[in-house]
Structure 1
Amino acid sequence: MAISDFYTLNKHYKTRIVPHIKDSGGEPLRALSVGLDLLENKKVQAIIGLGTSPEANFLAALGDKAKVPILYLSGSPMLSTEYPYPVQLTQDQILEFDGVASIVESFQRTNVILIYEQGEIISNLADSFQEKNIHIAHKSAISLSATDEQILVELHNLTSSTLQTTIFVVHVSPSLVSRFFLNVKRLGMISKGYAWIITDKTMDLLHSMDSSVLIESIQGALGFKSYIPPSNELHNFTVRWRRKMHMENPNKEMMELNVFGIWAYDAIWALTRAVEKVADKISQTKEQNAASIEHNRLS
């Protein structure tokens, strides 16, 4: 839709981008393999990706070596400092983490327990708490493939170190959060005396989850979600998107357009403009070189 809309409004553009859709399955090594295939066999000039932090860092290193820009729809705090080629299209994670820390501060709590996905980089979140003089009493890294038994063992470890003034901050993927909170509920940890905050890592993909399971599992938790101000353009696009999805999948339950779909749309527009500008510069350079060669020949 982004490509069609853009070139309908910009018919004078000399360049056209062609998408090659690949699914990494959420696995870092698979993402690396897919990235290599796109670069070597498809000869792509840019990659737009949505994935976990380990996936992002694998692709960032790949893009750096190939000197190909990698546009990310999910944040990884190390990308901007380690590699020059990744471009993060979302808001800075620090803004959200500062918001989480401010909420904790407003509860007049002095301790938090931080639960995050294994492989996730949480240094920025820890810094936000430190600036508010909030102590991280315990950190718990949980694997995306953790079993219910492993989650229960970790929760038992957390209850033994939990203070009355502690808030739990959960920074994990949607595929893990439902199972995690169902086990939290089994242990009676969603009740008076417990406070839970969920970051946008889960909340931004809320509509992709089974609603009944989701409501049952995280009822009572406070969630942070990316915010896009309403506009006529956004409303019109959403209506067209729903119509298109219904026509293509008439028997499928209609899901809400999430923030990543909107960011992906904007990413395509940004990329098409960049490709055209680069092509213009290359064309101008070639013309200047040709003119210089002709001048030298005539001299």
Structure 2
Amino acid sequence: MGSVPVLALCFLFILIGAKAGNQNGTIGFSRPKALSLGALFTLNSTIGKAAKFAIELAVGDVNNDPTVLPGTRLNVITQDTNCSGFLGIIEAFQIMEKDVVAVVGPQSSMLAHVISNVVNELHVPLLSFAATDPTLDSLQYSYFIRTIHSDYYQMNAIADMIQYYEWREVVAIFVDDDYGRSGITALGDALAKKRAKISYKAAFPPNADRTTINDVLVQVNLMESRVYVVHVNPDSGMTVFSIAKRLGMMTSGYVWIATDWLASVLDSSENPGPNTMNLIQGALTLRHYTPNSVLKQRFVSRWRDLLRKGKTTSSLNAYGLYAYDTIWMAAYAIDRFLSEGANLSFSSDPSFHDTNGSHLHLSSLRTFDSGNMLLKQLLSSNFTGLTGQLQFDSDKQLIHPAYEILNIGGTGTRRIGYWSNYSSLSVVTPEALYGKPLNTSSTRKQLYDVIWPGETTTKPRGWVFPNNGKPLRIGVPYRESYTDFVTKDNGPDNVKGYCIDVFLAALNLVPYPVPHTFILFGNGSANPSYNELVQKVADNTFDAAVGDISIVTNRTRIVDFTQPYTESGLVIVATVKELSTSPWAFLKPFTFQMWCVTGAFFLFIGLVVWILEHRTNDEFRGSPRQQIVTIFWSASCMYHSKFQRCFLAKC
């Protein structure tokens, strides 16, 4: 009986201690009734419009789910950065004053660099669903977590496309900020691995006007490469295509590859309209790949219903999906964080103090005591969201980065394939290949056919002679004889002939155009000196010469010859005479002297036979007339028998 009051007294002390802990701002065994997340992005932007509504839906779904943060209401404090780095920094400090346990955003890579330094000091995790700058993966930014795939993977996807279409040089058009510069640097590194390169970097400042962009594109159009990679912000990207269309740069022979910003612009508008689509016909763009699932289909259907009801002004894009999953990632991590009994407390840092006359209120900033523990819970996330499996690897990167490759044509887009860091280019969905053995050979890379600018299905060469360059000067002999090889002509090339046909056929095999002009050498009334023509090539009067120019020793000392495309060998050149069709034409090869010699041998053979046979053969006797006939007869028989034996021997 005496032990009961003691137990009751101990229980009372525990309750008092718990209450005292709550009064000190430390939550031990009980969960807080509410906690706050910060959100930083530009509300009136292509990404911000979709992200704002997606975050609102995610917060509502978390609060309505009794299995996540039970008894705790999740709040999000949103601040508009207004596309300004300075204002974004001020808004970030204002959010930090409200003791948020994590910050979602920002969408600007430049602002993410600055705020990452702030959250490092305050130990508040920063979850960005839109800052894709690869340099943010630096160990310097320990509290920065990217909840979307880095542009490092997107640039590798573009490099694989460049290799697939066998181009060697590209022109990069980008906005000159952290997002643009870092992305193009990653592209250059990826192209170098494919033995390709960026031949020209065309940068323009953020918020550039049309005149500035026009000047940049005019300079771009003077370059050799016709393969353009456009890496800009969604809100200014269409201006680039609008000016390019006006400059005639959206026609046949040009290649335009836009990063995922273009897909976001098109996805954010339910019906882009012909004015927009006409600007980007034939362009290629990438979109973050999110596998189809029942969860995603329900959310898309829900979004469309709310859009029809006027609850939102933006259609759903990939960034909206990642923003929704980011809130759930934070909710799951905080739930595990609280379930392990962690303290949700903040402490003042004496190093944060206001200087004399300052109104920045730095002293109001407090450090999240358990920020490192929450960071570990966030990095250990592993759940299936709208964007697929959300899990981080050892480098703090989401696993299975993949993109859809879209071709814009008509009034919409057409998917021509996929890219993933596991299987590279393929027409099969990435998740269908994850379970198969890795095979990244070039023979396995495949994409569907593309309708290029100018409504052509023929792959552009990707290279032209620069508009500010000089065409090749080709010297051509203008001679009086043998005009079938080369001579003057009234056609567009000003020359014609067998040599010219061979030269033009060779140019067609070159994977890029070679502007040239033919210059006649000679007056056409006499054959020009070929030695002098070759000397003019050596003196750079002509860049090359085309014609029936013989390869001789003294010429090879000063110029280089191609391999001869005709080879005569040892021949005899003779005039052709008309052959007789008379029945006695076979006798024409025999001359008079030959007939005389043949007759003499005929009589000689007959006489020898008569001498040998006259003494013993009665057939060789008789009258002189009879013996003469016998001589001729025996000679003819002798010829006939020799011919017959020869014929039989040959048979």
Q: TM-score range by the shorter chain?
A: 0.7 to 0.9
Q: Report the alpha carbon displacement of residue 143 of structure 1 after superposing the two structures with TM.
A: 2.0
Correspondent of 1:231 among 285, 290, 293: 293
Partner of 1:199: 259
Q: Report the alpha carbon displacement of residue 131 of structure 1 after superposing the two structures with TM.
A: 0.9
Superposition pairs for residues 64-75 of structure 1, below 5 Å?
Answer: 64-74=120-130, 75=132
Q: Report the alpha carbon displacement of residue 161 of structure 1 after superposing the two structures with TM.
A: 2.2
* Residues 283 and 107 (structure 1), Cα distance of their counterparts in 2 relative to 1, 3 Å cut: closer
Which structure 1 segments of 5+ residues have no match? 287-299
Correspondent of 2:332 among 257, 261, 273: 273
Partner of 1:24: 81
Partner of 1:128: 190
Q: Report the alpha carbon displacement of residue 105 of structure 1 after superposing the two structures with TM.
A: 1.1
Which structure 2 segments of 5+ residues have no match? 1-56, 346-651
Contact kept? 1:46, 1:68, Cα under 8 Å: yes
* Residues 259 and 93 (structure 1), Cα distance of their counterparts in 2 relative to 1, 3 Å cut: same
d(CA) in 2 for partners of 1:147, 1:79: 28
d(CA) in 2 for partners of 1:232, 1:89: 21
Note if 1:48 corresponds to 2:108. no
Partner of 1:292: none
Note if 1:211 corresponds to 2:269. no
AA at the equivalent of 1:173: N
Secondary structure, in 3 states, of the residue corresponding to 1:211? coil
Q: Report the alpha carbon displacement of residue 98 of structure 1 after superposing the two structures with TM.
A: 1.3
AA at the equivalent of 2:64: T
Secondary structure, in 3 states, of the residue corresponding to 1:22? strand
Partner of 1:171: 231
The structure where helix makes up a greater share of residues is: 1
Partner of 1:104: 162
Partner of 1:259: 318
Correspondent of 1:60 among 107, 116, 121: 116
Secondary structure, in 3 states, of the residue corresponding to 1:9? coil
Tell me which structure has the larger Cα radius of gyration: 2
* Residues 245 and 43 (structure 1), Cα distance of their counterparts in 2 relative to 1, 3 Å cut: farther
AA at the equivalent of 1:203: A
Q: TM-score, normalised on structure 1?
A: 0.86
The superposition leaves residues 186-210 of structure 1 with CA deviations (integer Å, 9 ceiling, x where unpaired) of 1111111111100013322323358
Secondary structure, in 3 states, of the residue corresponding to 1:225? strand
* Identical-residue share of aligned pairs (%): 25
d(CA) in 2 for partners of 1:285, 1:62: 19
The structure where strand makes up a greater share of residues is: 2
- With 268-277 and 5-14 compared, the bigger mean Cα shift is at 5-14
Correspondent of 1:155 among 217, 222, 225: 217
Secondary structure, in 3 states, of the residue corresponding to 1:58? helix
The superposition leaves residues 174-226 of structure 1 with CA deviations (integer Å, 9 ceiling, x where unpaired) of 22111111111111111111111000133223233582343122222111111
Q: TM-score, normalised on structure 2?
A: 0.41
Give the structure, 1 or 2, with the largest relative contact order (CA under 8 Å, sep 6 or more).
1
Note if 1:79 corresponds to 2:136. yes
AA at the equivalent of 1:266: D
Correspondent of 1:34 among 83, 87, 91: 91
Partner of 2:487: none
The superposition leaves residues 208-255 of structure 1 with CA deviations (integer Å, 9 ceiling, x where unpaired) of 358234312222211111111111111111222222343354xx7x64
Contact kept? 2:307, 2:314, Cα under 8 Å: no
Contact kept? 1:56, 1:76, Cα under 8 Å: no
- With 78-87 and 197-206 compared, the bigger mean Cα shift is at 197-206
d(CA) in 2 for partners of 1:139, 1:35: 33
Q: Give the paired residue count.
A: 280
Partner of 1:293: none
Note if 1:5 corresponds to 2:61. yes
The superposition leaves residues 6-33 of structure 1 with CA deviations (integer Å, 9 ceiling, x where unpaired) of 3433346243321112211222222111
Contact kept? 1:116, 1:170, Cα under 8 Å: yes
RMSD: 2.2
